[in-house]
Amino acid sequence: MAATRVFDVIVVGTGAGGGTAMKILCEAGLSVCAINSGPRTEPARDYKLHRQVYDLKYRGYGNPMRLEGKAHQEPYSVEESEYSENSDIFEHDVAYSNAPGTDWYWKRCKGTGGKANFWGRSSARFGDIDFKAAGLDGFGENWPVEYAEIAPWSTKAERYMGVASTVQNRPSNPDGEYLTPMPWRCIEYIIQKGAEKIGVPYLPDRCAQLTVAHDGHPACHYCGNCSRGCDVGSFFSPTWFTIPQAEATKNLTLLTNALVRSVLVDEDGKARGVAYIDRTTKREVELYSKVVVLAASCVETAHIMLNSKSRHWPTGIANSSGQLGRNLSEHLYGCPGYGYLPQLRGQPARPDNIADSTVAWMPRWQNLKNPHEEKFIRGYSVYMGGGCGEFPGHYSQLEGFGSEFKRNIKRYYPTPVGALIQAPTLPSSENYVDIDPRKKDIFGIPQLRFHFQWGTNELLMWEHSKQVMIDLFKAMDAELWGMDDEPNRPGTSLHETGVCRFGNDPKKYVTNKWAQTHDVPNLYICDASIFPSSTDKTTTMPIVAFTMRTCDHLLENFKKGTHSRV
Ligand SMILES: Cc1cc2nc3c(=O)[nH]c(=O)nc-3n(C[C@H](O)[C@H](O)[C@H](O)COP(=O)(O)OP(=O)(O)OC[C@H]3O[C@@H](n4cnc5c(N)ncnc54)[C@H](O)[C@@H]3O)c2cc1C
Ligand code: SF4
């Protein structure tokens, strides 16, 4: 094993959380080594977004044989396609396992910047309705923070990232500081009118997409290709924001193709660095630091910690509570209704998928006055999509062939409309990750194993949303073509939480309210694994906000002498 130099801080992962942490710590003058499991993401090489599908050999789907021989052969959707072929930024070498009856779909981007290169940019704030949900409805655990304490960090994150929206005064969605909202299309106004009739809000989403130039980043030119990565950096991504800023300080050492296997400990059980596999040589390397920050993206952070066994931590580092890997939560996704708007049939078909995202949504409207108003507790949100997408998915609803069929597809082009439910799962003792006792990946690292089933509460929300869509389609004078029979596979949302939950009691929680592990004071976590429960909102902006707050605390600990510099 080769030994290397010692850093003030090692940050594992360069995505939304890790990228933010390394930028802040580098700018504060610390020597930081950021470790990334895959290669550097290079927009000029890895994003081929402005080409049309008919210019690509496999019409955008990619070579069907491209994953042959890989340990994990399942293709990922939108973001991984022919547009990213030959770039090797998605993880297919490291396999994981599912316990019998579990069907978890684990998408990973191993390129620098992680999934935050391709994210959907929905960026609502969490509020007290989320932090104090357990107190309101009696289920689970409150978060160890209050909105008043977190609000300034959300503001800081929004100002940094650039989030477009409007002030809305909704009880479930605290307002923030916003850039000019996205322009609405005709379809949004039709949905809003219908939603109003059935008492459901339909409002601009909080979208981290630059409607105006922001802090040196150019305004969006609405090419609509965001999920393939933005070639000009007009939405927050580590590749365009945090990584170049951290590098500009000259305090950053960035290791790529380095897959962290475990956190190393000293004779007192404190973190002293990490062990990683150099993918190019397949050799294990040790790297040392005074502080370790894990930001490998929720379940992978738990994977590394569960694999960090020592005489001090026989069940994984910082796991005296036994909660490491437990409380796995996520969003139930699925389409509770899709169809078309006959009033738009025959209207000119213009490319209006301006953001490759939903510019408006239905923020949670259930159980606001009374937490037990509905058959389920908490609440869900809905994203509506539609209009002239790049590909006319509605072709499968129409009959015919030849030129008449093509004309018909064109006539329906502006009409399709569909919904996506975002329903939080409740933490359950049945839902967790652990280490598969039998399986190792190709690098010899014991694999992560998922145990997960949908619970009754989220399935009740799913059924509820189907009725809402039946009512909405009627109210919009729309035709309903159908709805999904089943929700999407667990893992699809990429908003998993809970596996290193934070809280004040070291017997019940993995980290304290600052995301510093209770057991190992020089080990911090900067991703969604600390969030004890899932909400009706997405996780990325909150990851950035909480990471900013954690790094502030970490720097304070350096100043106070709790951590010493190299
Ligand atoms: C298509 C799509 C749409 C999305 N839409 C939204 C949305 O609208 N709103 C929202 O809030 N979120 C959305 N998300 C989710 C969002 O991308 C994640 O919440 C966010 O990226 C999580 O940040 P992270 O830093 O935890 O993980 P990531 O951004 O995935 O970064 C993880 C990093 O860790 C590295 N890493 C992993 N394992 C190891 C290891 N063992 N050793 C070393 N390095 C490692 C990876 O290489 C990567 O750099 C979406 C994601 C996708 C792909
Ligand atoms: S729509 Fe805007 S943010 Fe999205 S890829 Fe195009 S320029 Fe970038």
Smallest CA separation from ligand 2 atom 3, residue:
234
Question: Any idea what DSSP says for residue 7?
Answer: E
Residue 3 lies in a domain: no
Torsional class of 459: left (φ above 0), alpha (ψ -120 to 50), beta (otherwise): alpha
Convert the pLDDT of each residue in 398-429 to its tens digit.
Answer: 999 999 999 999 999 999 999 999 999 999 99
What is the CA(224)–ligand 2 centre distance, in A?
A: 6
For residue 232, the CA-to-ligand 2 centroid distance in Å is: 8
* 226 Cα: distance to centroid of ligand 1 (angstroms): 15
- Residue 53 confidence class, pLDDT cut points 50, 70, 90: confident
pLDDT average, residue stretch 289-301: 98
Mean pLDDT of the chain: 94
Distance of CA 80 to CAs 76, 118, 223, 231, 422, Å? 6, 9, 18, 16, 22
2 located within any domain = no
> Which token pair is 80?
């991984």
What's the number of domains the chain is made of?
Answer: 1
Q: What is the pLDDT of residue 502?
A: 98
Ligand 1 proximity of 115 Cβ (cutoff 6 Å) = yes
Q: What is the 3-state composition of the chain as percent helix, strand, coil, each rounded to the nearest 5?
A: 25, 20, 55
pLDDT digits (tens, 9 = 90+) for 139-192: 999 999 999 999 999 999 999 999 999 999 999 999 999 999 998 988 999 999
Local confidence band at 49 (pLDDT 50, 70, 90 cut-offs):
low
Atom of ligand 2 nearest to the CA of 209: 3
CATH of the domain at 532: 3.50.50.60
Give distance in angstroms: CA of 135 to centre of ligand 1. Answer: 30
Average pLDDT over residues 50-65: 81
Residue 5, pLDDT score: 84
> Measuring from each residue's beta carbon to the nearest atom of ligand 2, which residues come in under 6 Å?
209, 220-226, 230, 232, 234-235, 355
What domain range is 547 assigned to? Answer: 10-560
pLDDT of res. 355: 53
For residue 225, give both structure tokens.
């290709």
Percent of the chain exceeding pLDDT 90 equals 84
Residue 541 CA, closest ligand 1 atom number: 11
Is any ligand 1 atom within 6 A of the Cβ of residue 116? yes
Distance 44 CA to ligand 2 centre (A): 15
Residue 151 lies in a domain: yes
For residue 1, the model assigns a pLDDT of 47
Asked if the model's pLDDT at residue 460 lies above 70, the reply is yes
Q: Which long-range contacts (CB under 8 A, 24 or more apart) does 546-549 make?
A: 546/150, 546/153, 546/515, 547/16, 547/17, 547/20, 547/21, 547/24, 547/295, 548/20, 548/24, 548/153, 548/156, 548/157, 548/160, 549/150, 549/153, 549/514
Work out the number of other CB atoms within 10 angstroms of the CB of residue 505.
11
C-alpha dihedral over 447, 448, 453, 458, to 10 degrees? -150
Q: How far apart are CA 240 and CA 117, in angstroms?
A: 9
- 357 band by pLDDT with thresholds 50, 70 and 90: low
Q: What is the four-CA torsion angle of 376, 384, 535, 162, rounded to 10 degrees?
A: -160
269 domain-assigned: yes
Which one-letter DSSP state was computed for residue 328?
-
Q: How far apart are CA 361 and CA 383, in angstroms?
A: 5
Residue 261 tokens, joined: 């296997």
CB 494, CB 534: distance < 8 Å: no
